Structure 1
Amino acid sequence: MPAAVTEAAGARLGVLRDALAGIGTTLDEGTTCVELTRAAVRLAGGAAAVMRRTGQTISGYEAITGDADALPDARWAAAVAREAAVPALGTEPAPWLEYVGGTRPRTALCAPLTSGDDVYGVLVWERSGPPLRRAEGELISLLAERAASHIRHARDYETVNRTAGDLQRALLSEPGRPHPNLDIAIRYLPAGGGVLVGGDWCETVRLHFGRTLLVVGDVMGHGLEAAVDMNAYRSSLRYIASADLPPHRVLRQMDEISSKEAELRPATCLLARVDPGRHQVTLASAGHLPPVLIARDGEATMLPVPVGPPLGTGFGGYESATHPLAAGETLVLFTDGLVERRGEDIDRSLARLSAVRFPVSGGLEDVLDTILGRLDARHAEDDVAALAARSHIRQGFSTDAAST
């Protein structure tokens, strides 16, 4: 083969390789369609657009590259998109349909966006001038095939993303009802600002005598599986906490139950039983970071708590610690995504949180805004869940009533 021919073939292969590499750079379907039409126009000139198909619903021209007025009759393209089917096994139909019509000589085609057993629409391409060569049609069809594969992945990702997000929102939307003597605010931020969630969660459980159990937990891992396991831990917590056991015994029973579920992922958990009547909080931790206490003057300190092993290990060994909690003071429970930074010692991370000073007259939402802002939580590498609580004594409620 002559060297010039070999060199030309190599150049065309390089152009095709670059075009294919530029399609599907993200998991966003719209972006993939734009990349497809741009690649088609770079390879063959003219104009290109996509008509997407979802079920039997066909979109109009989208992701247009080039002169939109030069594209063929949209009714023809819509009909092709609606009737396109995946080729039967063993058949080799033409990979595109050519269009003839209009007031000036031109070449147009529809290349179905097929992947597996699904059709996601068509790539519509048009060019004035010389007829379409078969090699050009095969290249454009190859681009459409590559884009369809990425569109399939994008739609699968969106489905999982939406399912996980719906599950997490349902679980976080109603974390329980604390007693009226306790104000609560909760925030949840997925890592990277996305929707796909992990196993971070918050909960509040009403107990007897005006006490409320506050809970924050973190199942190891991310995504739908972690969210499902989080639901299992949350259900277990609600059931066990209804018996009004001390926090360390709640953790002990949760650990016993979860350790018998082989497929359940380990989780950290922090319990805080707030007793406004006695002005105190009792803490117990299963491998979780301690809470921060914000005094009425805005100064923050970490409350020490005995740390036992994560839930699901079956080791047990949990203890409780009780601290004063005056009316008007704010207790904040959080998951490690709030403070942990890659390559940084955890003590330094917690010291950064303790160094934050808070407005004296701020509400709970202001407290969370300050924490998330000062620690740049929206750019955290892990999911962040935070629960802020502040007790106050209602008129007619007394310490004697709480101790009855």
Structure 2
Amino acid sequence: MRGVGSEPLEEFVARMAERVADPGRTAAVRATGMLDSQTEAAFDRIALMASRLLEAPFGFVTFVDEQRSFWKACAGVDVADPAGRQSSVSESFCQYVIGLGEALLVDDVRLDERTMHNPSIESMGVAAWAGVPLRSPEGEVLGTVCVVDTDVRRWNDDDARLLDELSALTTELLAARRAHEDASQARAALIDVAEHVRSRGWLDVLAHLTRRLSGAKSVDEVAEAIDSNGAAVVGADRLVVGHLEAESGLIVLVGHDAGRGGERLDPTQAGSAPFALALRSGKTVAVGSRAQRVDEYPDGVMLADSLGAEATATVPLRTSEGSILGVLIACWSDEMSPGVMPLSQLEVMAEVCAQSIARARLADDRRALVASLQTALLSPPPPVAGVDLAVRYVPALDSLGFGGDWYDVVPLDGHRVAVIVGDVVGHNAAAAARMSQVRTVIATLAQTGMPISELFAGCDKVLAPRSQSTMATVAVVVVNTAQRTLTSTLAGHPTPLLASPDGSVDVLAAGLRPPLGVGSSLSRPETVSYSPGSVLLAYTDGLAETRDGDVDTDLLALSARFGRLSHLPPEQQADRLLAETSHGLGHRDDVALVVARLL
């Protein structure tokens, strides 16, 4: 049961009852006018989307006062009369969400002490339940957007995110109703939203877009999702995201195919351009034709022409906290009256896009910070006669960036240098701290002249009293430039690769023993000769692993990439290896690597 802490049941029940009966909250519920109201297509579609997207038999939009949970919309329940679309608070699972003030997803309601005695388990056959708060524009919890399943199931984070987006859409509908003083205008706005979500095809596109935005880990991924799927949602020919760079204050256009991707626009120099006006005013700017643009927004003509747009709607990307992160530009190739543009849908999409960009920026900032800290731990390699070196460390995209991967280049004497890569288990600050320990010990032992065959056993001996739980894989390759030999030993680590001058690649022969922290046996290093112009690649497993996880196939693929790139200078090789491994989507695991051209 996610969303519930470890407080005693009695305390939770008391707090829940207090929040359900809170006068401020119940007054906000009544102020919506939703209690005992007739069904409305827009709300019905939101309940239907919840049911379909989460593949649950029942979907609800509820408003809860101190006595009952009123079902403003219910998918899977064929009841139109308001008197039949409600249940008592004691029968409702919505009470738990109000008590928590956050999402609640219960895989099996019969097993959790908070829900196991709810009467709806018997009366409605509830087996699994998932819901999120439905909030007023001021933040009061009015009820929920929720789904019910009659079978036990495993909910996931994507389910919660989808419900959150549908709840945000419902809040937007409530805000729109309040904003329209004329009740007929309010009904027209709601009917417009309802008509737009009528087709199943649109629902599928919306579901796909929501999932992509929820999973986006960078601003580029947000823009790509909007570009690929957003236009179909609002009936535009193209959508363009322009995000505001915090450092420069410029708008960067991303995610469109008009040949201007990545262009930076200065809002302070853009005058009457719609994007600049939207940023300054925080309001949507709709332009129905080129003639109108020339007459009213002349500074925006060049950008619109480059996008092939006759009509445009430029919406500020505003977060729920009020920050403006850029603009969303909808483009149509034909003239269109601003009165028929789907502005309400665009503004909802812009808010979802803004929240996704805010999450992606936060993740980017965290990764950049911890990557810089990691890089500070990994000093640049010293110059080595007879060896041209490039080193890289890249944090995992789905972590904060602190990891246990490392590289090191340790000169041993005038013609020998140790190339070391390793991987301590973990992707956090603790892993980085253990990594620093192991890296320092191995480098120190190597510099004191300890034979490579004893290096790992010596490291185990030093670290055992200090860090019982440290487990690490390590590869050490000693390059002897005088004899042109490579002597290698591995502690449970992926085997380094050696590319010959002709581009052929071999797995480097190496002595193998278990990882550090597992055993203290000696290793038996192996020595091979190399030809001048050969290239050594030592790496951690994040460079080779793919989602399929087939080790042999992954190694063959990495060998092929390495051989194809081995003619390049080491710096370029390192960058290309990283780029081609991630396919521009980031790495699932930390990556450390050393590329060494042997002269």
Calculate the TM-score normalised by the size of structure 1: 0.60
The 1-side partners of 2:364 and 2:569 are apart by 36
Distance 1:186 1:155, change over 3 A: closer
1:375 is aligned, of 577, 581, 584, to 581
1:256 is aligned, of 461, 465, 484, to 461
Do 1:160 and 1:224's aligned partners in 2 also have CA atoms closer than 8 Å?
no
Do 1:274 and 1:281's aligned partners in 2 also have CA atoms closer than 8 Å?
yes
2:525 is aligned, of 300, 313, 320, to 320
Do 1:164 and 1:227's aligned partners in 2 also have CA atoms closer than 8 Å?
no
Do 1:208 and 1:244's aligned partners in 2 also have CA atoms closer than 8 Å?
no
Do 1:282 and 1:322's aligned partners in 2 also have CA atoms closer than 8 Å?
yes
Task: Measure how far apart 1:244 and its partner are.
Answer: 2.4
Do 2:544 and 2:581's aligned partners in 1 also have CA atoms closer than 8 Å?
yes
Task: Measure how far apart 1:266 and its partner are.
Answer: 0.5
- 1:366 is matched with 572
The 2-side partners of 1:42 and 1:323 are apart by 71
- 2:70 is matched with 9
Deviations 1:89-113 (A, max 9, x none): xxxxxxxxxxxxxxxxxxxxxxxxx
Taking the TM superposition and a 5 Å limit, the aligned residue runs for 1:143-222 are 164-172=370-378, 174-192=379-397, 196-222=401-427
Task: Measure how far apart 1:37 and its partner are.
Answer: 9.0
Distance 1:324 1:274, change over 3 A: same
Match status 1:224 vs 2:429: yes
Task: Measure how far apart 1:39 and its partner are.
Answer: 7.4
Deviations 1:370-399 (A, max 9, x none): 43344346544211111101122xxxxxxx
Task: Measure how far apart 1:227 and its partner are.
Answer: 0.9
> Is 227-236 or 183-192 further displaced after alignment?
183-192
1:277 is aligned, of 474, 482, 493, to 482
The 1-side partners of 2:437 and 2:418 are apart by 18
Task: Measure how far apart 1:187 and its partner are.
Answer: 1.9
Taking the TM superposition and a 5 Å limit, the aligned residue runs for 1:88-99 are none
Task: Measure how far apart 1:164 and its partner are.
Answer: 3.4
Do 2:489 and 2:526's aligned partners in 1 also have CA atoms closer than 8 Å?
yes
Matching residue's letter, 2:434: D
> Is 159-168 or 270-279 further displaced after alignment?
159-168
Do 1:358 and 1:367's aligned partners in 2 also have CA atoms closer than 8 Å?
no
Deviations 1:350-371 (A, max 9, x none): 1222233325642112322443
Do 1:199 and 1:220's aligned partners in 2 also have CA atoms closer than 8 Å?
yes
The 1-side partners of 2:565 and 2:393 are apart by 22
Taking the TM superposition and a 5 Å limit, the aligned residue runs for 1:230-309 are 230-309=435-514
Do 1:331 and 1:390's aligned partners in 2 also have CA atoms closer than 8 Å?
yes
- 2:593 is matched with 386
Q: Residue 435 of structure 2 aligns to a residue in which SS?
A: helix
Matching residue's letter, 1:386: L
The 1-side partners of 2:170 and 2:429 are apart by 35
> Is 284-293 or 335-344 further displaced after alignment?
335-344
The 2-side partners of 1:230 and 1:35 are apart by 44
Distance 1:193 1:329, change over 3 A: farther
The 2-side partners of 1:177 and 1:223 are apart by 27
Do 2:371 and 2:394's aligned partners in 1 also have CA atoms closer than 8 Å?
no
Q: Residue 191 of structure 1 aligns to a residue in which SS?
A: coil
The 1-side partners of 2:522 and 2:569 are apart by 37
Task: Measure how far apart 1:289 and its partner are.
Answer: 0.9
Deviations 1:245-304 (A, max 9, x none): 232222221121222223552100000110111000110111101110011111111112
Task: Measure how far apart 1:159 and its partner are.
Answer: 9.3
Distance 1:262 1:233, change over 3 A: closer
- 2:545 is matched with 340
Do 2:366 and 2:400's aligned partners in 1 also have CA atoms closer than 8 Å?
no
Q: Residue 222 of structure 1 aligns to a residue in which SS?
A: coil
The 2-side partners of 1:290 and 1:178 are apart by 25
Identity of aligned residues (%): 28
2:555 is aligned, of 336, 342, 350, to 350
> Is 305-314 or 363-372 further displaced after alignment?
363-372
Matching residue's letter, 2:588: E
Matching residue's letter, 1:383: D
- 2:14 is matched with none
Q: Residue 502 of structure 2 aligns to a residue in which SS?
A: coil
Task: Measure how far apart 1:212 and its partner are.
Answer: 0.8
Deviations 1:49-105 (A, max 9, x none): xxxxxxxxxxxxxxx99x858xxxxxxxxxxxxxxxxxxxxxxxxxxxxxxxxxxxx
Distance 1:183 1:162, change over 3 A: closer
Task: Measure how far apart 1:157 and its partner are.
Answer: 8.3
Matching residue's letter, 2:475: L
Matching residue's letter, 1:387: V
Distance 1:161 1:44, change over 3 A: same
Q: How many residues align?
A: 285
Deviations 1:171-212 (A, max 9, x none): 23x243142221110122222276523111100011113211
Distance 1:332 1:122, change over 3 A: closer
Distance 1:360 1:242, change over 3 A: closer
Distance 1:258 1:214, change over 3 A: same
Calculate the TM-score normalised by the size of structure 2: 0.41
Structure 1 stretches lacking a partner, 5+ long: 27-33, 48-63, 70-120, 125-152, 393-404
Matching residue's letter, 2:371: G
The 1-side partners of 2:547 and 2:496 are apart by 21
Matching residue's letter, 1:323: V
Task: Measure how far apart 1:42 and its partner are.
Answer: 4.3
Distance 1:194 1:352, change over 3 A: same
- 1:57 is matched with none
